[in-house]
Structure 1
């Protein structure tokens, strides 16, 4: 009995130590102390910690304190992604889409981006929308791309604002032109997004006074990260 509980105490002590080393490594990476980060994170990654594996992938992808090694970065991302780590799934999917560190494979890109998007990663939703809008590895599907861009915006991803606004402003196969909705979408752009702000002005000039008043009323309560209305005419 006493040996049993003693074993548990040792296990928890080791677990706490490993957690402390992981946190120290992540903190060092954030503060750009890459030597310490690698020292602390590498053993944790080798022991199967997904967050450490993802961090090591970032280190080798960007060459942070080490020589860039895209292939090794992919290896770390694959290990973390297979454990369900959303940011690693995003990075792995993006790598397959771009062919950096791994042979370009749109099928694999879709697979991993979808897994990350399913976990609520807005960047993955944005990248996935680009693939559906462009027909990359899938049949081109603008309505689905719209749903993904909306999801990304509602998750706070600023870059999706322009892409979605343009689709509504111009219309696309399966997505009728809707200038009022385009105005509403452009309205949630971040303050430094001057391109979207410019398009908002262009779209606003094409609305009737009644449409503009309606769009402004709806937009007044919205911001990046807000749930967008389903449709506005």
Structure 2
């Protein structure tokens, strides 16, 4: 906010402002000295100094951080045709940075004082915030300033204009126009736009589908280290999309992205090691890369860690550790993890059995239509030695398992078992079973509750 700058010393208060001296101070991280030189220049219309003051206010360097004042100086420079300032001002409007917050202390103070003395409050508010409390989101203004910067050749602004057209924000949705803007940005070497343009070519959106062009632009971005393009290229090489399948090349690209921390690349690289595709089979490497991915919350990696530990693929089987990772994946809705965790708990493979929780996880998987979960529920409920024994539920889940199974011997066996279970029920119990199944058809998720 204006008026909250560091005080100038007597020795510097009368010297002539100098932009380059301010730049040297900024680069030395002496932001207060930079302000001393740049503020007078900005006030006298120096566009670059205005832009720099906007940056300082946005970052809170040498001044009290205030996006309203940042936007003020960005606008001053933008109106003089400063391309970076135009883009920065567009960002302010797109993000609503500096918008007033009801919980901010000055706002609460203003609201309190305004009740007692409106004129005093207004006067003090003007002193505290000469350019307002900030700016709220304004897509039209954001689009205006992005376009100004884009037409001035700003690559990132061109990409943003493409995004506006791609998603129909402030303009009619027009993916072809988005592709044109992405291309202008991509041709300047902006990696994110190169990736976006490649994705349009890969999917035939706004342009004719052209895998060759997709590979070209993904490659340009990947060469700059853009992790999403490295991943996209790896997948294309692994599966032979537009190129001969090359698992070794895929592994190389996955590794580049994995080493940057991309969780999908990490788990995919781990699975190549598990299968020995493009790399020597090595479950220790699978374990390493899946763990890195799983620790970032990747559900597929968590599920695969459960498989590795439960099957002893990287050492002795460790059901307790498997249960930890299955639980994490199951909580995110992974149906395979829900089934495996449910069976481990129901049968006590990871320690003392917990039938209630085990059944609960199997029901959650069944609610997603998993035939194996239904089959196992039917078996648990049919087992007379199990505490879960319930003839009605056994009949219900076996019938539903049969309906969810593809025609063939497995389905025939389930139908025969269901007939056997139904024959042992009285008419009242068969009616109860019918009611349960009808409720299932209305709302499968209700069946997830034991």
Please tell me the TM-score bracket, short chain as reference: 0.7 to 0.9
1:1-233 map, 5 Å: 21-101=18-98, 102-172=135-205, 174-189=206-221, 190-204=223-237, 205-207=240-242
Report if aligned partners of 2:236, 2:243 keep a CA contact under 8 Å in 1: no
Between the two proteins, the alignment pairs up a number of residues equal to: 191
Contact kept in structure 1, 2:149 and 2:157, CA below 8 Å:
yes
Measure how far apart 1:30 and its partner are: 2.8
Q: C-alpha displacement at 1:176, in angstroms?
A: 3.1
2-structure distance, mates of 1:208, 1:67: 55
CA RMSD of aligned residues (A): 1.8
Paired residue secondary structure (1:206): coil
Provide the rounded CA distance (Å) in 2 between the counterparts of 1:203 and 1:175. Answer: 19
The 10-residue stretch of structure 1 (132-141 or 185-194) with the greater mean CA deviation from structure 2: 185-194
RCO (CA 8 Å, sep 6+): is it higher in 1 or 2? 1
Q: Is the 8 A contact 1:179 1:203 kept in 2?
A: no
**Which 4+ runs in 1 deviate beyond 6 A?**
none
Secondary structure in structure 2 of the residue aligned to 1:188: helix
More displaced stretch, 77-86 vs 153-162: 153-162
Distance 1:91 1:161 in 2: 21
Provide closer, same or farther for how the CA distance between residues 143 and 30 of structure 1 changes in structure 2, counting only shifts above 3 A.
Answer: farther
What TM-score does the superposition give when structure 1 sets the normalisation length? 0.77
Q: Which has the larger radius of gyration?
A: 2
Q: Secondary structure at the match of 2:169?
A: coil
CA drift of 1:183 comes to 0.5
2:152 & 2:227 partners in 1: Cα distance?
Answer: 30
**Which ranges of structure 1 fall in alignment gaps of 5 or more residues?**
1-16, 213-233
